[in-house]
Amino acid sequence: MNEFFLKKSKNNIWYGLFSHFYHAGIRHGISTRLGGVSSLPYMTLNLGMHTGDYPVKVQTNRQLFCNAVGVNYRSVVSAQQVHKDTIAIVTQADAGKGVDCYADALCETDALVTANPDIPLLLLYADCVPVLFFDPVQRVIGVAHAGWKGTVAQIAVKTLTTMQECFGSRSADCLVGIGPSIGPCCYEVDDGVINPLRAGFHDWEDVAAIHGERRWMLNLWEVNRRQLLENGVLAANIAVAEVCTSCNNELFFSYRAEGGCTGRIGALISL
Ligand SMILES: [Zn+2]
């Protein structure tokens, strides 16, 4: 069974791992808010550059997290995430883009894919869904930022499709991890979210529980999981952390639980 578990590194950083990635030897982690140097409201391991936190503290936090996961900070590639569905194929020429400075990050990009073993990929979250990919056959990794807009745009499926088209990945070979994010316990939405979702997702009533007039509790984990199943990923290869960032606000940053002023957790993965 695929599980998500927390680990404390030698340098005191707590981060989450997916057991199937771990056993496949893939360096990866979902950071928590524990072990960094930032002060309230970014306390303490804020990895988001564009949050209002001091850049030098975010750089220190990112270095701490990279050291914990065992990747080279200088080679990390990050993006300016805009809740759309643009996916970047990351190459050696991109090494280090966005790791020190938000302005240098890949523009308007919400998913990253690479087959380069020297390039760690990093995306940032505070309630949106981190979706991590590893194809152990073609040796390709990916990471996607799936808030409700990205989920409606099927960014997880499009990331998988990019791995297929550019690197010959097969859906049935790919391992997927769906990380901590706002859960169906806390993610109340209105028809501004449900209407676009149901236009492209016929089982929408299975993933949205009615919660008052024109209000629903939406399960973004399950939408992303089902989208990937429909596109050939095996159920046994998908791990869902089932950890709600709002319920576990002492461990994870939550945009909703903290009224929008908060830090970001990171999803980091490297071949
Ligand atoms: Zn919750």
In the block, which residue shows the tokens 């030897």?
25
| Dist. CA 245 → ligand 1 center (Å) | 7
| Dist. CA 115 → ligand 1 center (Å) | 35
> Could you tell me where the beta strands, DSSP code E, fall in 62-168?
87-89, 111-114, 121-125, 129-135, 140-146
Give the integer Cα–Cα distance in Å for 186 and 190. 13
| Dist. CA 209 → ligand 1 center (Å) | 14
Residue 269, classified by CB atoms within 10 Å of its CB into exposed (0-12), middle (13-18) or buried (19+), is buried
| Dist. CA 184 → ligand 1 center (Å) | 7
Residues 6+ away with beta carbon under 8 Å from 80: 50, 98, 102, 105, 106, 107, 108, 109
| Dist. CA 246 → ligand 1 center (Å) | 5
| Dist. CA 72 → ligand 1 center (Å) | 34
| Dist. CA 164 → ligand 1 center (Å) | 34
- For the residues 14-39, what does the mean pLDDT come to? 97
Give the integer Cα–Cα distance in Å for 239 and 111. 19
| Dist. CA 261 → ligand 1 center (Å) | 18
| Dist. CA 211 → ligand 1 center (Å) | 14
Give the integer Cα–Cα distance in Å for 179 and 177. 6
Encoded tokens for 51: 């949050």
Sign, Cα dihedral of 103, 109, 114, 117: positive
Give the integer Cα–Cα distance in Å for 101 and 263. 16
| Dist. CA 186 → ligand 1 center (Å) | 4
| Dist. CA 187 → ligand 1 center (Å) | 7
| Dist. CA 75 → ligand 1 center (Å) | 34
Encoded tokens for 117: 């073993």
- For the residues 159-183, what does the mean pLDDT come to? 98
Break the chain into its structural domains and give their ranges. 4-270
Percent above pLDDT 70 for the chain: 100
* Alpha helices (H) along the chain: 19-23, 55-69, 148-152, 155-167, 191-200, 204-207, 220-230
Encoded tokens for 203: 């089982």
DSSP string, 7-59: EE-TTS-EEEEEHHHHHTT-EEEEE-S-S--PPTTSTTT---GGGSS-HHHHH
Assess whether pLDDT exceeds 80 at residue 2: no
Assess whether pLDDT exceeds 80 at residue 1: no
| Dist. CA 50 → ligand 1 center (Å) | 25
Give the integer Cα–Cα distance in Å for 44 and 268. 18
- For the segment 211-262, what is each residue's pLDDT rounded down to a tens digit? 999 999 999 999 999 999 999 999 999 999 999 999 999 999 999 999 889 9
- For the segment 69-110, what is each residue's pLDDT rounded down to a tens digit? 999 999 999 999 999 999 999 999 999 999 999 999 999 999
Q: Which of 110, 104, 105 is nearest to 86 (CA)?
A: 110
Residues 6+ away with beta carbon under 8 Å from 2: 18, 19, 20, 177, 236, 237, 238, 239
Instruction: Report how far apart the first and last C-alpha atoms of the chain are (Å, whole number).
Output: 22
| Dist. CA 99 → ligand 1 center (Å) | 30
What is 4-270's CATH number, 3.30.300.130, 3.30.70.120, 3.40.47.10, 3.60.140.10?
3.60.140.10
